[in-house]
Amino acid sequence: MTKIIISGCSGHMGHVLTQLIEADPDATVVAGIDPVADPACGYPVFASAAECSVPADVIIDFSNFRAVDALLDYAVEKKLPLVLCTTGLSDEQLKKVDEASRQTAILRSANMSLGINLLMKLLKEAAARLAPVGYDMEIVEKHHNRKLDAPSGTAIALGESMNEALDNEYHFVFDRSQRHEKRDPKEIGISSVRGGSIVGEHEVIFAGQDEVITFSHSAYSRSIFGKGAVEAAKFLAGKPAGKYDMSDLFSM
């Protein structure tokens, strides 16, 4: 039974995680960390990481970038593995993540979805086989009309996985509106759509001569990220210090 602390337990993803873990026979929530205590949580909630004194096997963090520094200090002090899902970290914080991973296990990924991470693995093989024989590569991502950034971090991560398989010889093109030239064969195009309540859709196109191969992933709710985080937590518990990502779950 994996004992989990949820950082950011009173937020939307915190509630999703609580429900997912309650339904998981191999995991349990022993405490939460959040400045806003939600009595509906059903477990002790501490206002800060420093106040948390409940023994656990691993932490899952879906909080806020402002809380990450203190959480890293806590994880290092307690030698607790940490699944770090909070986004928007500064370069300085990313360096702190690297430093902390020398003393405890930390898993961080651009996207916690199991499906997206399997897709990244498949795209590496596809890119390595298809790009050298002339297939053009394009990514189209779609999200709701409230999303502020474009392209999505997931779209970039998909592109980077493809480029990695090609010795990083390719470059990204995000906008062709000012380009009046033939497509560069060494580019990976990324296009963004924003509208309605689309949770997240990513389509990767390999366009060759007389045929097109398409990989696609659709997210219908944010619970897929919670499910991935729970699986990551069960994987990470008991692991030695180091940096991990979701691809490590597929190499078991």
Each residue's pLDDT tens digit, 88-123: 788 999 999 999 999 999 999 878 899 999 999 999
Q: Respond yes or no: is residue 124 known to be catalytic.
A: no
119-148 pLDDT, tens per residue? Answer: 999 999 999 999 999 999 999 999 999 988
Pairwise CA distance, residues 85 & 99, whole Å: 17
* Nearest to 121, CA basis, from 16, 248, 219, 222: 248
* Nearest to 61, CA basis, from 39, 91, 93: 93
The annotated binding site for NAD(+) is made up of 8-13, 34, 85-87, 109-112
The annotated binding site for (S)-2,3,4,5-tetrahydrodipicolinate is made up of 144, 153-154
* DSSP three-state, residue 131: helix
**Of 2.60.40.1080, 3.40.50.720, 3.40.50.1820, 3.30.70.100, which CATH number belongs to 2-112+222-250?**
3.40.50.720
Residues forming CATH 3.40.50.720 domain(s) in the chain: 2-112+222-250
> Which one of the listed residues 78, 96, 147, 243 is annotated catalytic?
147
> Which one of the listed residues 15, 143, 217, 227 is annotated catalytic?
143
Reported confidence tier of residue 40, pLDDT bands at 50, 70, 90: confident
Residues forming CATH 3.30.360.10 domain(s) in the chain: 114-219
The pLDDT of residue 24:
95
Q: Respond yes or no: is residue 3 known to be catalytic.
A: no
Query: How many other C-beta atoms can be found within 10 angstroms of the C-beta atom of residue 50?
Result: 13
The pLDDT of residue 215:
98
Residue-averaged pLDDT of the chain: 93
The annotated binding site is made up of 8-13, 34, 85-87, 109-112, 144, 153-154
The pLDDT of residue 108:
93
Q: Cβ(93)–Cβ(73) under 8 Å?
A: no
Strand duo 82-84 + 58-61: pairing: parallel
Query: For residue 30, which amino acid is it?
Result: V
* Nearest to 86, CA basis, from 61, 67, 66: 61
Task: Spell out the CATH class of 114-219.
Answer: alpha beta
Reported confidence tier of residue 175, pLDDT bands at 50, 70, 90: confident
41-80 pLDDT, tens per residue? Answer: 889 999 999 999 999 999 999 998 899 999 999 999 999 9
pLDDT at 252 over 70: no
Helix ranges (H only) for the chain are 12-22, 65-78, 91-100, 114-130, 153-164, 223-236
